[in-house]
Amino acid sequence: MSKILQKLISAGADISTRKTLKSALRVLGIKPENIDKLYIELKNSINEDMFSKIPPKDKVVFIPQCLRNSKRCKAKLTGLGYKCMSCCRCRARKIREKGESLGYRVFIVPGDSMVFNIVRKFKPKAVFGIGCLKELVIAAEEIGIPAMAVELSKDGCVDTTVNLEKIFEIL
């Protein structure tokens, strides 16, 4: 699929929005069942070079609250998301610690409205988001700055999972 995308891009096709990508795939006779996954993959590919050139201090990382351990987490919700208390070794804590150690500003958020409020407040030059596919697509279409994204490997709103290696590779 990525070879087809590369051919479309090199031929000058504008596939920067989900709608145009969906149309391009229809013309090629490809069923767009996985359009959202493909859209995020495409956005990551387009933004990867710009994202890597921006220093961590000018980027923010958004971690979904669902990566917290629902039974043990003592994090408190604030106006900037959940304040991690480092109470357990959940995935949210691991990502937060790694991101902060590299110089990123990291937020554990309950949803996309808080993401957009934080972006407006702090005006980062790039963002890295982790989340369910639906949330990632909304953010990718509206964020307006270079963004990288990793989809949850098990979604739902509680005790989700994600590929930590993939996240750490992007960070």
In a domain, residue 150? The reply is yes
How many residues are recorded in the chain? 171
In a domain, residue 79? The reply is yes
CATH code of 135's domain: 3.40.50
Q: Which amino acid is at 61?
A: V
- pLDDT tens column, 116-137: 999 999 999 999 999 998 889 8
Residue 155 has pLDDT above 80, yes or no: no
CB atoms within 10 A of CB 93: 21
Give the pLDDT confidence score for residue 4 in this predicted structure. 65
In a domain, residue 7? The reply is no
Say what the pTM is: 0.83
For 73, the domain range is 53-170
Q: Where are the beta strands (DSSP E) in the chain?
A: 59-64, 76-78, 81-83, 105-109, 126-131, 147-151
Question: For 28-111, where are the alpha helices, taking DSSP H only?
Answer: 35-53, 91-101
In a domain, residue 3? The reply is no
- pLDDT tens column, 5-45: 666 667 666 666 677 777 777 777 766 667 788 888 888 99
The count of structural domains within the chain is: 1
Give the pLDDT confidence score for residue 115 in this predicted structure. 92
In a domain, residue 125? The reply is yes
Six-digit token string for 82: 């959940």
In a domain, residue 21? The reply is no
